[in-house]
Amino acid sequence: MKSNIGVIGLSVMGMNLALNMADNGYKVSIFNRTTSVVDKVMEEHGHENFIPTHSLKEFVDSLEKPRRIFLMVKSGAPVDMLIEQLIPLVDKNDIIIDGGNSYFKDTIRRTKYLKEKEINFLGVGISGGEEGARFGPAIMPGGDKEAYSYLAEIFEKISAKAYGEACCKYLSTDGAGHYVKMVHNGIEYADMQLIAEAYTLLKRVAGFSNEELHNIFEEWNNSELESYLIEITSNILKVKEDNKYLLDIIMDKASQKGTGKWTNLEAIDLGVDISVITAALNGRFMSNLKDERIKGERIIEAKVSKLEDFNIGREEFVGLVKNALYVSKIVSYAQGFKLLSVAEKEYGWDFNFSEIAKIFRGGCIIRAKFLNDISDAFKEEEHIDNLMFTKFFANEINTRLTDLRELVSIAVQSGVAVSAMTSALEYIDTYRTSQSSANMIQAQRDYFGAHTFERTDKEGSYHFDWTASEKN
C-alpha cells in the first residue's frame, strides 16, 4: 500500500509533523539524508502508519500519485539541493511542499522554476514550535490552488483548531504562505518586546516581586490581553531553580533567527512603517551589546525618577501598563496587516485578512483572544486603510491612549527604555496628524537638490530658487 504523503527531514519539527499526520490516519513515508536518523525515529517513535525509507528513490516510489512530498529541511541552499535531487525522480503534477522558514522570494523563484517542469510547488508557513507541529500548528499555505486541493484535507486535519475552525486556510499564489508566516514572526517579535517592556516597568519602576508579577500576568490572561505569550510569561515568572527565580539568572541577551530581519527589510522595500516591529528587532540587537551596556551604565549619568514622584499608586500603575500594552499590541498588529495589504498589491496576491486573523487564533505563537476582534473588523468593514481606523479598534485606542501617553512619559523620566511602546505612541500620533513636518523636509530637499515640491494652493510640481531669494 502506497503512502498518502511523505516527509523529508526528521529533525524535531519534521518528526512531529509526521507523527501528527500518522495520528490522523495518514500513511506517511519518512526519509532523512542521514539514514540512521530514520532507524532512530522508528526505534524511538515508531508509528504503525510510518513507512521508513533509506533512499530518495525508495521514498518517492513509496508515495501514491500525485505524490505529496513535504520538505522539513533548513531553509536556503538545502531546499534547492533537495529539489534538484527530486526532479529526476518525480512525475508531472507531483507536489513538493516546503514547510520550512523559507524566504518568500525564494519560494516565488522555486514555484516558477518547477512550474516550467510541470511540477507543483507549495510554500507553507508552519507556526507553533515543536508542540504545535506535534499536536496542531497554524498552517499558512501558498501556491497553486488546484495543487493545494490535494493537501487541504491533510493540512486542515493536522492543524490547530480554534473556535471550531481549522487554523489553516489557502492564502494565495507562490510565496504568499511564507510571506504571511514572515509577517507573523515580525508581529511575534513586537508582541514579545512589548510584554518584556511591561514586565520591566512593573519590576523596575513599581518594584513588584516575581510572585506579584506572576499574579498580575495571570490576571491579565483572563482579560482582553488573553494570549499564549501572556500565559507563558505568567508561567515563567513562577519558576524557581535551587530556590532562585530562574528568570532572574537568565542573561539579558536575546537571539533571533532572521525572520524579524526579513520583515523589516521587506517593509523598507515597500515603504511601510512597522516601527514597533523594528524596535523589537533593534531591542534584540542592543541586548547583545552586554559589555557595552555595562560600560554605558557607568559612563552616562542620568537623574531618574521613582514611582512615588509621579503621585500614582502601584495598583493604578498596573492599570496604566495594562492599557498601554493593549494599545501598543493593537498597533503592532495594525502595522503587520498594513504590510500584508501593501504586499498584496505589490506581488499580485489576493488575501482574505479576516481569514488570516483566524489562522493566527490557534497553534501559533501569537495566538490571542483579540484576533477574533481583528477577524470581525476585517469582515465588517471593506477597504480598510489601517486596522486602527476600524470602529472597534479606534474606540479601544481612544479609550486607552491617554494611559499609553502617561506611561511612556513615566518610563522616560524613570530612565527605562521602552522603545516598542514609544514607537506605538509615535505611530498613532503620526497617523492622527493631518499637517506633518514633512513640508520642511521637502523644502530642504528642494533647496540643496532641486527635488521640487507640491503645493497646497495649486496643482503641479515646483522648484524654487532659494539662493536667489537669500540675495534679495
* Residues identified as active-site: 181, 188
Give the C-alpha separation, 198 to 289, whole Å: 21
Measuring CA to CA, which residue among 154, 159, 155 is closest to residue 128?
159
Q: Is 47 annotated as a binding residue?
A: no
Q: Is 189 annotated as a binding residue?
A: yes
Give the C-alpha separation, 133 to 21, whole Å: 10
Q: Is 128 annotated as a binding residue?
A: yes
User: Does the bond joining 66 to the residue before it have cis omega, within 30 degrees of 0?
Assistant: yes
Q: What is the 3-state secondary structure (H, E, C) of the chain?
A: CCECEEEECCCHHHHHHHHHHHHCCCCEEEECCCHHHHHHHHHHHCCCCEEECCCHHHHHHCECCCCEEEECCCCCHHHHHHHHHHCCCCCCCCEEEECCCCCHHHHHHHHHHHHCCCCEEEEEEEECHHHHHHHCCEEEEEECHHHHHCCHHHHHHHCCEECCEECECCCECCCHHHHHHHHHHHHHHHHHHHHHHHHHHHHHHCCCCHHHHHHHHHHHCCCCCCEHHHHHHHHHCCCEECCEEHHHHCCCCCCCCCHHHHHHHHHHHHCCCCHHHHHHHHHHHHHCCHHHHHHHHHHCCCCCCCHHHHCCCHHHHHHHHHHHHHHHHHHHHHHHHHHHHHHHHHHCCCCCHHHHHHHCCCCCCCCECCHHHHHHHHHHCCCCCCHHHCHHHHHHHHHHHHHHHHHHHHHHHHCCCCHHHHHHHHHHHHHCCCCCCHHHHHHHHHHHHCCCEECCCCCCEECCCHHHHHHC
Burial of 22 (0-12, 13-18, 19+ CB in 10 A): buried
Q: Is 451 annotated as a binding residue?
A: yes
Q: How far apart are the first and last CA of the chain?
A: 91
Taken in order 366, 371, 372, 378, the sign of the CA dihedral is negative
Q: Is 345 annotated as a binding residue?
A: no
Q: Is 184 annotated as a binding residue?
A: yes
Write out the three cell numbers for 51. Answer: 513507512
Tally the residues of the chain.
472
Q: Is 115 annotated as a binding residue?
A: no
Q: Is 127 annotated as a binding residue?
A: yes
Which residue positions form the known binding site?
101, 127-129, 184-185, 189, 257, 284, 445, 451
Give binding residues for substrate as ranges: 101, 127-129, 184-185, 189, 257, 284, 445, 451
